């Protein structure tokens, strides 16, 4: 579904990604792990169009993402849940979700998508008129994921969903991810919490200093010595 080939990307004179190639097949859950500053967030942004790659190709179901204007990438079916949630703090939960359904194709399905999201996150339904900025971290994460789901995407990009959340809440988030997956949604997760993410995805890549070092199934990675020593504290 999603195909990246030899992508270079960065900010100004600073390069963050060097020749990154990865792919995500329909229905899969893929993880990207790696230390702070590895370029994981840059990777997400280059896929969703917030920044543009310097070289390389990105294709979503065969469509060239690089040539698509940033605000039309969501129409290709890619929904990005940004790092740190990035909800609109002074909009209500419902208005935040409404923004998720902004594109023409999603507006007509607003009602049923809203029901779907409230089904998944009953707590959001309770707080639908509350200002998003006043909710707890975990609730905000759910709202952010819900907002991305409002457009009925084909591919969900999750950028560090566990960041700043208590372990119990992190657990809930990943359980939610599994539930969403079971509905057939394709997911690409970028995470620092290696344990949690490897148990939630089929395959994963290790990104260090802007290049892919290892890739394989989650079982392989969990068994790998490199991963165990560097990231699992074993």
Partner 1 sequence: MEAFLEIFDVFLLEAIISGILLGGVLALLALGLNLIFGVIDVTWICYAELIMIGMYGLYYFYAVYGVPMWMAVPMCIVLVAILGLLLHYLVIEPLLDAAPINQLLATGGVLFFLQSFATVAFGIDFRNLGIRLPVLAIGDMHFSYARLLAFLAAIGGMVAVYLFMTRTYTGTAIRAIAQDRHIMPLMGVDTRRLYLITSAIGGGLAGLAACLLVLQYDVHPFVGLSFGPITFLICVLGGLGNFIGGFVAAFLFAQIISLGGLYSDLEWGYVLAFAFFIVMMFVRPQGLLARRS
- Could you give the CA distance from residue 183 to residue 186 in angstroms, rounded to a whole number? 9
Torsion angle defined by CA atoms of residues 108, 154, 171 and 201, in that order, rounded to the nearest 10 degrees? 170
- Contact call for residue 131 and partner 1 (CB under 8 A): no
- 33, 207 in Cβ contact below 8 A? yes
Torsion angle defined by CA atoms of residues 70, 76, 81 and 82, in that order, rounded to the nearest 10 degrees? -20
Exposure on the CB side of residue 213, measured as CA atoms within 13 A: 15
- Contact call for residue 90 and partner 1 (CB under 8 A): yes
Cβ proximity to partner 1, 98 vs 228, nearer residue: 98
Cβ proximity to partner 1, 139 vs 204, nearer residue: 139
Contact pick of 5, 98, 109, 128 for partner 1 (by CB under 8 A): 98
Contact pick of 73, 143, 156, 190 for partner 1 (by CB under 8 A): 73
- Could you give the CA distance from residue 86 to residue 193 in angstroms, rounded to a whole number? 20
The footprint of partner 1 on residues 132-171 (CB under 8 A) is 147, 151
Cβ proximity to partner 1, 44 vs 176, nearer residue: 44
Contact pick of 74, 93, 135, 207 for partner 1 (by CB under 8 A): 74
Query: Which spans of this chain sit near partner 1 (rule: CB under 8 A)?
Result: 48-50, 69-75, 79-80, 82, 86, 88-91, 95, 98-100, 102-103, 107, 147, 151
């Amino acid at each position: 579904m999603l195909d990246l080939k030899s992508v270079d990307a960065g900010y100004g004179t600073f390069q963050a990604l060097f020749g990154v190639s990865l792919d995500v097949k329909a229905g899969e859950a893929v993880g990207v792990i790696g230390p702070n500053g590895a370029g994981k967030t840059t990777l997400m942004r280059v896929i969703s169009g917030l920044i543009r790659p310097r070289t390389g190709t990105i294709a979503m179901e065969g469509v060239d993402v690089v040539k698509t204007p940033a605000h039309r990438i969501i129409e290709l079916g890619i929904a990005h849940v940004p790092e740190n949630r990035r909800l609109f703090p002074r909009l209500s939960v419902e208005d935040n979700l409404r923004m998720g359904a902004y594109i023409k194709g999603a507006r007509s399905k607003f009602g049923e998508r809203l029901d779907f999201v409230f089904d998944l996150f009953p707590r959001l339904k309770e707080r639908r008129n509350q200002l998003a900025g006043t909710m707890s971290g975990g609730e905000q994460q759910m709202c952010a994921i819900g907002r991305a789901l409002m457009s009925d995407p084909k591919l969900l990009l999750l950028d560090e969903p566990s960041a700043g959340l208590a372990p119990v809440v992190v657990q809930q988030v990943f359980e939610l991810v599994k539930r969403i997956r079971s509905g057939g949604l394709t997911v690409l997760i970028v995470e620092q919490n290696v344990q949690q993410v490897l148990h939630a995805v089929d395959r994963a890549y290790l990104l260090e200093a802007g290049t892919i070092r290892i890739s394989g199934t989650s079982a392989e990675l969990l068994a790998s010595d490199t991963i165990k020593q560097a990231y699992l504290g074993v």
